[in-house]
Amino acid sequence: MRARLVVFPIRGRQWCFTRSLDRAASGGELSSTPRGFRDLFKDITSTRRSAPQNAEIVVDFVADKMNRAWATLENAPEGTVRSKLHSLGLWLLSRVKPSELLLKSFSDVTRVDITYPSSFNPRLVRRRVRHIAMRGSVIHKRHFYGSMSLLPLTSILTVLPLPNVPFFWILFRAYSHWKALKGSERLLLLVADSSSSWSLIGTNNKVGVTQDETDSSIAAPGESPWVCSLK
């Protein structure tokens, strides 16, 4: 998958980093998320995959279930308990930092095009991108382990007759921090100086994408996966 990272100034030394997706490069990707627990078990046991690949399938399966549950809350009638839970979820989501959303979007990227104003120093732009990735990897790793440690405590609340909102929120935050952590690590590899780091990008593609579909977005051996361009 190829992505474009756009950098532009806001005020003084404050910069804004935003990401746009190259639809042409990612339009051929296929989703292999199992629909049920039986399909999940069959998918994991019937094929030979590494432990990280199986873990990614499980994470995608849980994320798919969470998205379906969220869609159910979104379509709930006004004034019901589910509608109020949806409003509470929107309020909680509004408190998520934009930097986390940015880093999450880079978890599956194989090439990045950094676009910035001509008045910017390209070395400074790249240095700031690396700083964001390094800082994000530290922060989201800490928050991921913190969220995982809270899951057993919030799971006790399932004995109550009410929906266990704290458990599902902590579960979502653990998933979100995990994706942001993976995005930070991937972005750090993309803007690295060493070609040995670039070679790690093509070996950790998303499960379910064939080699023919990724050839157009993965850099050739020894070729830099990031490109700086002026605007």
**Per-residue pLDDT tens over the stretch 144-189:** 999 999 989 988 887 777 677 788 889 889 989 999 999 999 998 8
Q: Which helix (H) or strand (E) holds 11?
A: strand 2-11
Report pLDDT for 164.
78
Q: What is the pLDDT of residue 146?
A: 95
* Coil, helix or strand at residue 93: helix
Q: What local confidence, expressed as pLDDT, does residue 206 receive?
A: 46
Residue 194 is inside which H or E element, if any? none
* DSSP3 helix / strand / coil % (the chain, rounded to 5): 55, 15, 30
Concatenate the DSSP letters of all residues of 102-158 into one string: HHHTTTT-SEEEEEE-TTS-HHHHHHHHHHHHHHHHHHHHHHHHHHHHHHHHHHGGG
pLDDT value of position 169: 87
Q: In this structure, how many other beta carbons lie within 10 angstroms of the beta carbon of residue 125? A: 20
Question: Within the chain, which residues score under 50 in pLDDT?
Answer: 24-31, 206-215
Q: From CA 28, how far away is CA 55, in angstroms rounded? A: 23
Separation of first and last alpha carbons in the chain:
22
The pLDDT value given to residue 200: 61
User: What pLDDT shows up at residue 212?
Assistant: 42
Whole-structure pTM value: 0.72
pLDDT of residue 4: 84
Distances (CA, A) of 140 to 52, 53, 104, 203, 204: 18, 21, 10, 23, 20
Single-letter code of the amino acid located at 218: I
Quote the pLDDT of residue 230: 62
Is residue 186 within 8 A of residue 109, CB to CB? The reply is: yes
Contacts of 148 (CB under 8 A, 6+ apart): 174
Burial of residue 79 (number of CB atoms within 10 Å: 0-12, 13-18, 19+)? exposed
Residue 122: the pLDDT is: 84
pLDDT of residue 215: 45
